[in-house]
Amino acid sequence: MRGWLFQLAAAALLPLAAAAQDSALRALETADAGRGWTAVGRLDIGRRGFCTGALIAPDLVLTAAHCLHDRDSGAPVPLAELRFGAGLRGDRAEAWRGVRRAVRHPDYGFAAGERIDRVTADIALLELDQPIRLPSVRPFATGPVPRRGAMVGVVSYARTHEAAPALQESCTVLNRQRGTVVLSCTVDYGASGAPVFAIENGEARIVSVVSAKAEVGDRPVALAVPLGDEIARLMAALAAGAGPAAPRPAAPRVIAGGQAAGSGGAKFVRPRGRHPP
């Protein structure tokens, strides 16, 4: 499983008692429970483990940059070993895709071990080998990280829930320091890359990406990367051809006539009542 554990000082954080009302994890094991969250998926990394990722476009997955490196050696993971399962529950996903290209934040540098400074740019964008265009899978919009004290939510896969995602509907932004967002959210190994959501005009938007779990005293917290303008930078890097790329699969050869059925995209308005408050 991917992830690191850090120890943080409690200074400058909100009183931990203020986060005592944070909600527990709620498993999204059924189609009904997971409705609206199927653009979150599990990013399998060969036999090395997995991370969490989320679609922000039909062919773009946002995740943590360290998920693209071997934990021990720091070497880049071959793209052929990466597979994204959107809305994975049990042994079925809404769609499985490979990864054609990957770009990391330009300031990211992999560092093995527990170094908190590696969290500040720990985001990456993956271009899938084929877009996921399904009515049941709608990519998320992104937005700025909320202010200190705001409520957010996290959807993740992790060691404690490998086969289905879990939702923590409300946790607190404890602080923003050194380019890192400290959250009272509960995360575990495998949740690296998980989207942090805020609600804007009734719609869930990704405002941050989980990088690692940490502790303040004996209290577990999560460390996340604020998005800011970084998504535009990563998308521009992809458009410019940056990052390693896997060969495109050969186009299918037409043997008989006929027209393939297509599926159009539409702006997804998420149902109220199924998102973090």
- The 3 state secondary structure assigned to 31-88 is HHHHCCCCCEEEEEECCCEEEEEEEEECCEEEECHHHHECCCCCCECCHHHEEEEECC
What the block records as the tokens of 208 is 């941050």
Domain that holds residue 98: 5-239
Output b/e per residue, 30-52; b: 16+ Cβ within 10 A: eeebbebbbbbbbbbbeeebbbb
Q: What is the DSSP string of 191-213?
A: -TTPEEEEEETTEEEEEEEEEEE
DSSP alpha helix (H) spans, 107-228: none
Amino acid type, 48: R
Q: Are strands 82-86 and 60-63 parallel, antiparallel or unpaired?
A: unpaired
CB 182 within 8 A of CB 226: no
Q: Is residue 204 part of a domain?
A: yes
Q: Is residue 265 part of a domain?
A: no
**Residue 208: φ, ψ to 5°:** -165, 165
Q: Is residue 25 part of a domain?
A: yes
Q: Is residue 271 part of a domain?
A: no
The CATH number for 232's domain is 2.40.10.120
Least confident of 4-13, 23-32, 38-47, 190-199: 4-13
More confident residue, 124 or 23: 124
Q: What is the percent of the chain with per-residue pLDDT over 90, rounded to a whole number?
A: 45
More confident residue, 234 or 118: 234
More confident residue, 5 or 254: 5
Judge whether residue 21 has pLDDT over 60.
no
Q: Is residue 51 part of a domain?
A: yes
DSSP alpha helix (H) spans, the chain: 31-34, 230-239
Give the distance between the most distant pair of CA atoms in the chain: 69
What the block records as the tokens of 175 is 């602080």
Vertex 112 angle, CA 25 and 81, to 5°: 70
Judge whether residue 117 has pLDDT over 90.
no
122 pLDDT band (50/70/90 cuts)? very high
Number of domains in the chain: 1
- pLDDT for 40 equals 98
Q: Is residue 133 part of a domain?
A: yes
Q: Distances in Å between the alpha carbon of 111 and those of 5, 223, 224?
A: 13, 16, 16
Q: Is residue 252 part of a domain?
A: no
Sign of CA dihedral 89, 123, 186, 39: negative
**Claim: this prediction has a pTM higher than 0.85:** no
269 pLDDT band (50/70/90 cuts)? very low
Question: What's the mean pLDDT when you consider all of the chain?
Answer: 80
Q: Is residue 261 part of a domain?
A: no
Q: What is the distance between the terminal CA atoms of the chain, rounded to a whole angstrom?
A: 29
Cα dihedral 125, 149, 147, 86 in deg (nearest 10): 20
What does the alpha-carbon distance between residue 98 and residue 263 come to, in Å, rounded to a whole number? 20
